[in-house]
């Protein structure tokens, strides 16, 4: 039995039996999707030096 931790609720679950890995349940999967759609999560990127210079001008 391989245990994993759900990134939404931090609950322990057997990832080999989960249908919605890396989540423990459909609910946690839907909560995560909702957070992405509501822009609660973001991905940082390194701006190119040219873009940064253009913004300063």
Domain boundaries of the chain, sorted by first residue: 3-52
Q: What is the pLDDT of residue 54?
A: 64
Q: What is the pLDDT of residue 5?
A: 97
Q: What is the pLDDT of residue 13?
A: 96
Residue 25 DSSP class: S
Q: What is the pLDDT of residue 43?
A: 78
Q: What is the pLDDT of residue 35?
A: 96
Chain segment 8-57, per-residue pLDDT in tens: 999 999 989 999 999 999 999 999 999 999 999 887 766 666 666 666 66
- 3-52 belongs to CATH 3.30.50.10: yes
Q: What DSSP string describes 36-53? A: HHTT-S----PPPHHHHH
pTM across the whole model: 0.69
Closest CA to 22 of 39, 10, 34: 10
Copy the structure tokens of residue 57: 């001008």
């Amino acid at each position: 039995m391989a245990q994993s931790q759900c990134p939404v609720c931090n609950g322990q679950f057997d990832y080999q039996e989960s249908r919605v890995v890396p989540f423990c349940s459909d609910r946690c999967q839907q909560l995560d999707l909702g957070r992405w759609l509501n822009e609660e999560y973001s991905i940082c990127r390194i701006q190119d030096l040219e873009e940064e210079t253009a913004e300063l001008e």
